């Protein structure tokens, strides 16, 4: 005996369709727009055309359908008017939700781009709605209409009949003519935060009877990049993956989505693995870096994902060094501690070089026919080029007549120090030189750019004011380095000093002032003045010391 057609199971609906918002309350992350629409409906100040813009999957088309419901809802008793909370059970609400309302016309501009399609709309708007309060036209991806189609629509869009409303949706608002934008009330739908998406997904898996680790939902939310639809598609795939794995592994009746399964499914690298790789890069262990890159590739991690992970770490370290607190819910305690340690050990200059080299490596891997090999070359370039001395250190070495030492400037391990001196350097400048000579590059870089000395003593005292926020533990790290190098017990403090003691500029500020003074002096030379008057568009882009003195002689 076969089942009758009526007893056949209903066709499965993907989560992105099943959980499409059916009310403004279910529309996540767009509170400002909902409030504006609610006030407009209550006060009877309804625009004749609305434009929703934003990235994919944030709810543009859903919002357009909700507006259509809000304007045409008649309530449970059939006597209601426009409302920000449509009932969802009256005939107009149900017909609009099912896409069958005769007075709510949806059109995809990608397949109806011509002026003839718009002409049909212009002809139809003259007739009143058949059964609804308003005749509503929803045009998705409106930016794909042709120029002639836009021009044909302008007059009708500016002065449509009172019973007609236009609702436009687009992902590329910059392609919509200004003449159209000026005739619409525009709503910019924001990307949905990863935290809100994770909460939304948690509610959905509960309704679906699925168990999911919070870490797994956070990974899916981050991979969605602010798009609810993308996130639901990934969640759908993760649940299917979990059902197969769960049945084979433990026989549980309920599927369980785990973070490891999601990482495997998406080909994402473990954040801990990326941190370990970053640590190996800083330590200069070439063989270990290449081996780990190959191991991650064998596990299914894409090389581009690793490069992006390293870029995220460099950005996070730089932001932490600048004093910004991280609010990433996916960051573990261990990750935050590692970022704080690197922020205190690395200078801004090495971090900027790391970022630029990773950015170049990202471009190479994207366009490479052999991504793994391109990633290996990028990491090797990162380790060797980033470990070169800073220009200031290179100039100092050349001035002293020494060779360039290829030391791992980026290394997070303590650098070898010279034999302790009997006393402290005579001047603040000599103290900074001593830090550079003893390979304390990160500390020396921060001292040059952030320390304004108030009082300095050759007996081992430094009182200073920070020119910009210094990282946590900076004072202790500076004191420890000076103690180790000089053999003295230093007193390093932050303060204003006594009356009459004023902070001096940082060494970088002094260098900038000297360079500006040198350029000003060059500009005052008669021959340069004459040249600039003759060629007013000319620029003085640099000062060569040898040329300056020979010219002035």
pLDDT in tens, 162-186: 899 999 999 999 999 999 999 999 9
pLDDT in tens, 212-248: 888 889 888 888 888 888 889 989 888 888 765 444 4
- Distance (Å, whole) CA 434 – CA 483: 12
Q: What is the pLDDT of residue 195?
A: 86
- Distance (Å, whole) CA 8 – CA 434: 82
For residues 419-425, give the mean pLDDT: 56
CB atoms within 10 A of CB 426: 11
- Distance (Å, whole) CA 22 – CA 95: 12
> What is the residue-averaged pLDDT of the chain?
80
Of the candidates 259, 363, 347, the residue with the CA atom closest to the CA atom of residue 311: 363
pTM for this entry: 0.57
- Distance (Å, whole) CA 104 – CA 140: 13
- Please list, in sequence order, all residues whose beta carbon lies within 8 angstroms of the beta carbon of residue 1, skipping any fewer than 6 positions away: none
The pairing of beta strand 49-53 with beta strand 135-140: unpaired
Q: What is the pLDDT of residue 502?
A: 82
More confident residue, 330 or 338: 338
pLDDT in tens, 307-319: 998 998 899 888 8
- Distance (Å, whole) CA 314 – CA 305: 14
The contacts found for 181-187 with CB under 8 angstroms, 24 or more apart, are 181/51, 183/49, 183/154, 183/157, 183/158, 184/47, 184/49, 184/50, 184/51, 184/157, 185/47, 185/49, 185/50, 185/51, 186/50, 186/51, 186/53, 187/33, 187/36, 187/50, 187/51, 187/52, 187/53, 187/63
Give per-residue burial for 107-116: e unless 16+ CB within 10 Å, then b: bebeebbebe
Of the candidates 183, 186, 113, 109, the residue with the CA atom closest to the CA atom of residue 147: 113
Name all domains of the chain by residue range, CATH numbers in brackets: 15-188 (3.40.50.300), 194-266 (1.10.8.60), 271-385 (1.20.272.10), 414-504 (no CATH), 508-552 (no CATH)
Give Cα 248 to chain centroid, integer Å: 38
CB 125 within 8 A of CB 135: yes
The pairing of beta strand 461-466 with beta strand 451-457: antiparallel
Give Cα 406 to chain centroid, integer Å: 34
Q: Is pLDDT of 552 > 50?
A: no
Owner of token pair 């993907």:
14
What separation in angstroms does the CA of 293 have from each of 134, 309, 335, 370, 456?
Answer: 60, 12, 20, 14, 48
pLDDT in tens, 246-273: 444 455 456 788 887 887 777 655 677 8
């Amino acid at each position: 005996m076969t089942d009758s057609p009526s007893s056949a199971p209903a066709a499965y609906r993907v989560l992105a369709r099943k959980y499409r918002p059916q009310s403004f309350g279910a529309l996540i992350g767009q509170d400002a727009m909902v409030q504006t629409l609610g006030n407009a409906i209550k006060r009877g100040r309804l625009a004749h055309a609305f434009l929703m813009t934003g990235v994919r999957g944030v709810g543009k088309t859903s919002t357009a359908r909700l507006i259509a419901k809000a304007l045409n809802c008649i309530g449970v008793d059939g006597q209601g008017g426009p409302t920000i909370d449509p009932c969802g059970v009256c005939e107009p609400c149900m017909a609009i939700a099912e896409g069958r309302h005769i007075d709510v016309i949806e059109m995809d501009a990608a397949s109806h781009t011509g002026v003839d399609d718009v002409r049909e709309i212009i002809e139809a708007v003259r007739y009143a709605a058949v059964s609804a309060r308003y005749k509503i036209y929803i045009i998705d991806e409106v930016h794909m209409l042709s120029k002639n189609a836009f021009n044909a629509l302008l007059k009708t869009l500016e002065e449509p009949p009172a019973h007609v409303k236009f609702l436009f949706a687009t992902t590329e608002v910059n392609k919509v003519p200004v003449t159209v934008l000026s005739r619409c009330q525009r709503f910019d739908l924001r990307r949905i935060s990863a935290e809100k998406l994770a909460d939304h997904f948690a509610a959905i898996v509960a309704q679906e009877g699925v168990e999911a680790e919070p870490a797994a939902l956070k990974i899916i939310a981050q991979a969605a990049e602010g798009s609810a639809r993308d996130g639901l598609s990934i969640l759908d795939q993760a649940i299917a993956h979990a059902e197969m794995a769960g049945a084979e592994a433990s026989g549980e009746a309920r599927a369980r989505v785990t973070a490891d399964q999601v990482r495997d499914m998406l080909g994402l690298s473990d954040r801990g693995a990326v941190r370990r790789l970053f640590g190996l890069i800083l330590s200069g262990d070439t063989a270990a870096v290449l081996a780990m890159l190959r191991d991650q590739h064998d596990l299914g991690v894409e090389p581009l994902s690793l490069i992006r992970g390293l870029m995220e770490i460099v950005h996070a370290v730089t932001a932490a060094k600048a004093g910004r607190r991280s609010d990433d819910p996916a960051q573990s305690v261990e990750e935050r501690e590692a970022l704080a340690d690197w922020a205190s050990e690395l200078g801004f200059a090495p971090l900027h070089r790391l970022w630029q080299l990773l950015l170049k490596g990202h471009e190479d891997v994207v366009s490479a026919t052999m991504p793994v090999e391109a990633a290996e070359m990028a990491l090797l370039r990162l380790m060797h080029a980033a470990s070169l001395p800073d220009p200031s250190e290179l100039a100092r070495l050349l001035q002293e007549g020494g060779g360039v030492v290829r030391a791992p400037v980026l290394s997070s391990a303590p650098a070898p120090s010279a034999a302790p001196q009997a006393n402290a350097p005579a001047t603040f400048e000599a103290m900074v030189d001593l830090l550079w000579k003893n390979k304390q590059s990160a500390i020396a870089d921060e001292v040059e750019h952030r320390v304004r000395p108030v009082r300095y003593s050759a007996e081992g005292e430094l009182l200073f004011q920070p020119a910009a926020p210094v990282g946590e533990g900076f004072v202790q790290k500076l004191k420890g380095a000076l103690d180790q190098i000089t053999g003295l017990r230093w007193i390093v403090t932050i303060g204003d000093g006594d009356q009459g003691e004023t902070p001096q500029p940082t060494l970088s500020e002094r260098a900038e002032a000297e360079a500006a003074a040198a350029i000003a002096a060059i500009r005052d030379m008669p021959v340069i003045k004459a040249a600039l008057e003759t060629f007013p568009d000319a620029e003085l882009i640099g000062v060569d010391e040898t040329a300056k003195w020979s010219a002035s002689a």
